[in-house]
Copies of this chain bind each other. A is one copy, B any other.
Amino acid sequence: MNADDLLVKRKRGSKRFVIGAAVIGALFFLVGILIGFFSHESELHPSTPTPKPERLDPTQFMIQNVDAQFLRNKLQNFTSQVRMAGTDGAASLAETIQSLWLSSGVENVHIASYEVLISFPNQSEPNKVELVNKTSGRMIFTSNPFEQELRPAERNSTVVSFTAYSPKGLVLGDIVYVNYGRVEDFEFLRNNLSINVHGKIVIARYGKICGGNKVLNAEKFNVSAVILYADPADVNQEFNGKNDEKTHPDSWWMPSVGIQRGTAYTQRGDPKTPGYPSTDYAYHLDKSNMLLPKIPCQPISYGDALHILGNLSGPISPASWHGTLPIEYRIGPGYDNATDIEVKVTVNNYLDNRPLYNVIGTIQGSEEPDRYVLLGSHHDSWVYGAVDAHSSSTALTQVAELFGQLLKRGYRPRRTLVFCSWDASEPGLIGSTEWVEDNLKNIFERAVAYLNVDMIVQGNFTLDVSSSPLLQDVLYTTAKQIPSPKKEYKTLYDLWQANSMSNINDREPRVTYSLGAGSDQAIFYQLAGVSSANFGFTFDPKKYPMTTYPLYHSSFDNFYTFEHYLDPEFKYTQSMTQFWAVLANNLADAKILPLKVTRYSTAVKKFIYDLIRVYEEIWKKHNVHTDPLLSSVQNFTEATLLFENRLSSEKDLEKKPYRMRMYNDQMMKLERAFLNFDSLSERPYSKHIVFAPSASDLNTDSFFPGLTETMYDIEEELDKWNQLKEQMSITTYFLQSAAKTLSENGML
């Protein structure tokens, strides 16, 4: 080897050196790029102390860890005493929930307390409904003040029955049967039977519309007092007019001694602070300015109703008014062969200021802590409330527990989760209203969705889902992730699809867009424009054509009933809890929000087309033009389509945080585009122009209330045609406005 050779070798070595270094350099380079690239990731997770373990799949973790035994134990505990709002039972349950959440690792757990005006029955002077002799004053019959115990284990069932916020009063008079107490029922009496209910006591059966609206209708027709009862036709399908052996505790049917409770309050929140939270500095309305029911009302059992209705005189009511009591269902007023008998209603309710206790806890989002996914249910109940609502408050506690466990394992979703256990929901959504009013600005700005469960299981047939159209798709995709609680189906989606027909597309499970004001989602949806859903497992409505499950709001809605007849294995509860948890995570952790704006335009289009089909001719006659409205529907529809096209064709969106946030904000805020702060001032809690709790039934929705409710009685009030034209214009404005919020350049 000579120097030249060495030179060659060196050159070769040098070449090898260069190539090798280049290869290694390139590798380092790539690694560098990757580190550089992903260094952002960690910057984007400033509050995540540890990186997400690779193998932890939060969805699978939650599905696997929802624990039927946990749900069972907690339900037994939660239903062990009366949890009526404003009593120690509700207060101590709030404490229990608070400590459970704290120990689960939920963050920022606290009680949000407000002092509110709550209505109570007088335990020592119970309310009653009597039959008395007009001349002698002798009492002929008196109703039971509370529900008799039917099982030895049934404790504390001596809670006096009442209708919340019914005023104290003693009313004597003739009685009239008014079927379900709907406006059309009162109108039928007036128009078809010429029966004037002015100054009369009326008796109405529960069902079809909420109790509060029955009382409100009675007030409008100048009735003096209202008696409510649940007819066996609506709560005991096996009733044969004689025995009630097959009722609770031997089935889920309402026994003849059962009493359904409720509230006559048709506003929402503390009556003394409408629009504002009941904080220590709050201005209180005088009682005379509060919007409270004006006439006494008392609920009784169908066993007692039989005495009141049994011998009524007057015409026989139409067949559709007949329940299944062994009577003729005459209208009244007065009694056959006993003109000296009258009805006496005694109500001794009182109002008191009491603190309520909402429990609030959060899991702060890792990357978008200022975006909230809220989950809520209430922990007050009329009596023991197994179905309504502790099946749900226990499930919420399970969901909180699971997210707490995930947090300990290093998993923190992108967005903040907020767990809300509401107090005083039954008397008038008071806990949620005060809290939303207290936090309105932040909820309006930051909430992505509110997911409510009130009665997680009231049957075992299928899912019952009410929702904003925006959430419809994520409800479906989530249901596809959850195993079916029935063996014959693979997923919850399959079960839901098999047992429910869609309202829009027959291939999809049914979702109604009617959120009503029957549970706490109404406050989020109507006051803050937060896309909301409310869901649970329910019975087959064809087999059981009932408004609610039979023991609803009675003292027999207890743990015994739940474990014997509702969900013995807790598998439906478990399934819905899985669904709730995974749904929340799907909304809280997705980079691109799973909200579907075209669902909104499809829904809007359907409702507007339906309206026009019904009213087209009469509108034409009165010069009400629908062309601008139809154009706005078209514009909104196009805007939603264009938006989704842009979103899906945007390349590498997940790497562009600002654009991602922009799209997410547009989807999230679409719901807010439908809030009208000005025009529904007569109904301060209804600000959504597409869906609003119906003026005639708080528990259902009017679609485009400005239009539909103006049509009511329009033939009698000619000025309403101008109101209708105004509402047509307002509706068009909001649809155009909503379209703009989705346009690429919002200025056009």
Contact = CB atoms under 8 A, between A and B. Distances in A.
A442 B747 contact: yes
A310 interface: no
A730 interface: yes
Interface stretch (A20-28, A191-199, A301-309): A20-28
A441 B737 contact: yes
Contacts of A439: 740, 746-747
Contacts of A740: 439, 441-442
Contacts of A34: 36
A266 interface: no
Given A21-B21, A728-B283, A370 B662 contact: yes
Contacts of A655: 40, 43
A681 interface: yes
A669 B26 CA distance: 48
If over half of A's interface residues share one DSSP class (helix, strand or loop), that class is named, otherwise mixed; here it is helix
Contacts of A681: 681
Nearest to A674: B441
A35 B276 CA distance: 53
Contact of A281 (B441, B656, B659, B729): B729
A51 interface: no
Which of A10, A279, A725 is the most central at the interface, judged by chain B CB atoms within 10 Å of its CB? A279
Interface string A651-692: 010011111011001100100110001110100100000000
Contacts of A39: 33, 36-37
Nearest to A744: B369
Interface stretch (A317-325, A359-367, A378-386): A359-367
A44 interface: yes
Nearest to A280: B628
A747 B370 contact: no
Interface in A35-54: 35-37, 39-40, 43-44, 46
A17 B25 CA distance: 12
Given A36-B37, A108-B748, A740-B439, A733 B276 contact: yes
Contacts of A632: 281
Contacts of A13: 10, 13, 17
A110 interface: yes
A254 to B, nearest CB: 40
Contacts of A737: 438, 440-441
A21 B25 contact: yes
Which of A25, A110, A275, A729 is the most central at the interface, judged by chain B CB atoms within 10 Å of its CB? A25
B28 A733 contact: no
A29 interface: yes
Interface in A151-182: none
A275 B445 contact: no
A360 B26 contact: no
Interface in A715-748: 725-726, 728-730, 732-733, 736-738, 740-741, 745-748
29 contacts: A1-B1, A16-B17, A17-B20, A26-B28, A32-B32, A32-B35, A33-B33, A44-B657, A46-B659, A108-B745, A108-B748, A276-B730, A281-B628, A281-B631, A282-B733, A283-B729, A362-B747, A364-B745, A367-B658, A368-B658, A368-B662, A369-B745, A441-B669, A441-B740, A442-B740, A445-B672, A445-B741, A657-B658, A677-B677
Given A21-B25, A281-B729, A362-B745, 16 more contacts: A1-B1, A17-B21, A29-B32, A33-B36, A36-B36, A110-B748, A275-B678, A276-B729, A276-B730, A281-B628, A281-B732, A370-B666, A370-B746, A441-B672, A658-B661, A677-B677
